[in-house]
Amino acid sequence: VILGAQWGDEGKGKITDLLAAEADIVARFAGGDNAGHTVIVGEEHFALHLIPSGVLNAETRCFLGGAMVINPKKLLAEMDGLASRGIQISPERIGVSGLAHLIMPYHLALDGAAEAARGGSALGTTKRGIGPAYTDKAARTGIRAQEMLRPPDEFARRIQEQVMAKNLVLREVYGQAALDPEAISDEYLGYADRLRPFVCDVAAEMGSALRAGSRVLAEGAQGTLLDLDHGSYPYVTSSYPTIGGVCIGLGVGPQQIERVVGVVKAYQTRVGAGPMP
Model confidence pLDDT, tens digit, residues 214-261: 999 999 888 999 999 999 999 899 999 999 999 999 999 999 999 999
Give the pLDDT of residue 271: 74
Give the pLDDT of residue 181: 97
Q: Higher model confidence: residue 87 or residue 273?
A: 87
**DSSP-based three-state secondary structure for 208:** helix
**What is the separation, in whole angstroms, between the first and last Cα of the chain?**
27
pTM over 0.75: yes
- 28, exposed or middle or buried, with CB in 10 Å at 0-12, 13-18, 19+? buried
272 with 30: CB under 8 angstroms? Answer: no
Identify the CA nearest to 48 among candidates 59, 57, 39: 39
pLDDT at 67 over 90: yes
Identify the CA nearest to 63 among candidates 24, 36, 37, 102: 24
Active-site positions read 9, 37
Give the pLDDT of residue 77: 95
Judged by phi (left if over 0) then psi (alpha if -120 to 50, else beta), residue 268 lies in beta
Give the pLDDT of residue 123: 76
pLDDT at 179 over 90: yes
**3-state DSSP of 170-194:** HHHCCCCCCCCHHHHHHHHHHHHHH
Q: Chain-wide mean pLDDT for the chain?
A: 92
44-58, 181-195, 245-259: least confident range: 44-58
